[in-house]
């Protein structure tokens, strides 16, 4: 009897875990394997499953050997990340250190900075499209009435200014998230260490570089890696900003066409080639994997040298 009870008790953990593994397999493992199989086929969703043809690695050869728009989208993505990630990493750190010193008013400023992060991307896209509109935009109205400009700038009509608007939007939206992460890290630094350093003659700048940054190094590494991964997933901001404008995909001259926008356009908008779209997604996965490994190795090497 005791052995039967023990056997029945051993089954209960597996029964409780079964729903999780069932959902995990149904909504993650199976779609991942199925999309990998699709990437090896020539399949237009409009032609049906019956007309799907297996073509091997032809989609990947076309993607990496002759698809100029894919490399353009990668270049735009890298350009955005190269500019806005340092601004968020270092700007968020400086802002967090300043707000950490404001005891009573810090929560008010924290709330103000976090509000853009919790705002829906659709609302942000609409706000910025009105703000930077050529004819009725608030920014052009202010600059022309102040006499700074003789006529309004078509912010969303040229490649350089369109990229600038997207970078401003990303920084404005995500700065609050970086601020909260840094504030959580600053709260774990013992104040006795900073006070002892000040007593020994160190100034605030020395305390910041010698104490604050070394203590926050794991958080900085985490934010860098997650920023790179999320940077390759950049879609909402540039897509919503130019969705109501009669221009090419990704803004003027495709200057704001990120990798995810290109994937979406090739799979569901300009064409419905699910096989090639799946190949694009796995190509992006390989790029993200390589870049993440390179960055993590560089960071680990610097830590070993220090």
The alpha-helical segments, DSSP class H, found in 49-137 are 58-66, 68-101, 106-118, 121-131
Alpha carbon of residue 24 to chain centroid: 24
Q: Per DSSP, what are the bridge partners of residue 273?
A: 44
256 in a domain, yes or no? yes
Cα separation, 277 vs 43, in Å, equals 10
Domain harbouring 67, CATH code: 1.10.3720.10
Domain that holds residue 283: 38-305
Contacts of 1 (CB under 8 A, 6+ apart): none
Cα separation, 164 vs 155, in Å, equals 8
Cα separation, 199 vs 189, in Å, equals 17
21 in a domain, yes or no? no
Residue 227: what pLDDT?
93
26 in a domain, yes or no? no
Contacts of 219 (CB under 8 A, 6+ apart): 181, 182, 185
The mean pLDDT value of the chain amounts to 85
pLDDT bin (cut points 50, 70, 90) of residue 247 is low
16 in a domain, yes or no? no
Half-sphere exposure of residue 80: CA atoms within 13 angstroms, side-chain side = 33
Residue 223: what pLDDT?
93
Residue 171: what pLDDT?
93
Residue 257: what pLDDT?
92
Cα separation, 45 vs 50, in Å, equals 10
The alpha-helical segments, DSSP class H, found in 187-258 are 191-199, 204-207, 213-231, 236-242
Question: Residue 161 corresponds to which tokens in the numbers above?
Answer: 């200014």
Residue 301: what pLDDT?
77
pLDDT bin (cut points 50, 70, 90) of residue 3 is low
Cα separation, 118 vs 176, in Å, equals 9
Cα separation, 142 vs 130, in Å, equals 13
Query: Can you say whether residue 209 is alpha, beta or left, with left for phi > 0 and alpha for psi between -120 and 50 degrees?
Result: alpha
* Rounded-to-5 percentages of helix, strand, coil across the chain: 75, 0, 20
Helices (H) and strands (E) in the chain, counts: 14, 2
Half-sphere exposure of residue 30: CA atoms within 13 angstroms, side-chain side = 7
Query: What is the DSSP secondary structure assignment for residue 41, as one 8-state letter?
Result: E
Residue 295: what pLDDT?
86
Half-sphere exposure of residue 229: CA atoms within 13 angstroms, side-chain side = 10
Residue 138: what pLDDT?
86
Half-sphere exposure of residue 93: CA atoms within 13 angstroms, side-chain side = 18
4 in a domain, yes or no? no
135 in a domain, yes or no? yes
Q: What is the pLDDT of residues 187-213, one digit of tens each?
A: 888 888 887 888 777 788 888 888 888
Alpha carbon of residue 175 to chain centroid: 12
pLDDT bin (cut points 50, 70, 90) of residue 112 is confident
CB-based contact 175:91 (threshold 8 Å)? yes
Helix 106-118 × helix 159-186 angle, to 10°: 130
Cα separation, 232 vs 146, in Å, equals 39
33 in a domain, yes or no? no
Does 303 score more than 90 pLDDT? no
57 in a domain, yes or no? yes
Does 178 score more than 90 pLDDT? yes
Count of domains observed in the chain:
1
CA distances from 17 to 11, 31, 43 (A): 10, 21, 37
Does 1 score more than 70 pLDDT? no
């Amino acid at each position: 009897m005791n052995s039967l009870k023990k056997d029945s008790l051993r089954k209960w953990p597996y029964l409780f875990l079964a729903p999780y593994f069932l959902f995990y397999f149904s909504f993650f493992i199976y779609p991942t394997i199925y999309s990998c199989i699709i990437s090896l086929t020539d399949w237009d969703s409009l032609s049906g499953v019956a007309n799907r043809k297996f073509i091997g690695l032809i989609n990947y050869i076309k993607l990496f050997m002759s698809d100029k728009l894919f490399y353009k989208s990668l270049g735009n993505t890298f350009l955005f990340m190269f500019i806005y990630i340092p601004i968020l990493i270092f700007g968020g750190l400086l802002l967090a250190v300043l707000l950490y010193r404001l005891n009573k008013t810090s929560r008010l400023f924290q709330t103000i900075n976090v509000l853009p992060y919790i705002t829906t991307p659709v609302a942000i896209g609409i706000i910025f499209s009105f703000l930077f509109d050529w004819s009725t935009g608030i920014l052009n109205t202010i600059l022309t009435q102040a006499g700074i400009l003789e006529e309004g700038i078509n912010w969303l009509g040229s490649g350089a200014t369109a990229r600038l608007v997207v970078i401003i939007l990303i920084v404005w939206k995500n700065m609050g998230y970086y601020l909260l992460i840094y504030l959580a890290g600053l709260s774990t630094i013992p104040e006795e260490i900073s006070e002892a350093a000040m007593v020994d003659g160190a100034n605030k700048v020395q305390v910041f570089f010698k104490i604050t940054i070394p203590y926050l190094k794991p958080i900085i590494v985490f934010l860098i890696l997650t920023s790179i991964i999320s940077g390759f997933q950049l879609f909402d901001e540039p897509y919503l900003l130019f969705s109501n404008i009669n221009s090419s995909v990704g803004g003027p001259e495709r200057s704001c066409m990120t990798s995810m926008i290109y994937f979406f356009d090739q799979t569901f908008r300009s064409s419905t080639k699910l096989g090639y779209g799946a190949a694009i997604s796995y190509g992006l996965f390989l790029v993200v994997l390589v870049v993440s490994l390179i960055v993590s190795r560089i960071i680990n090497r610097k830590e070993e040298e220090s």
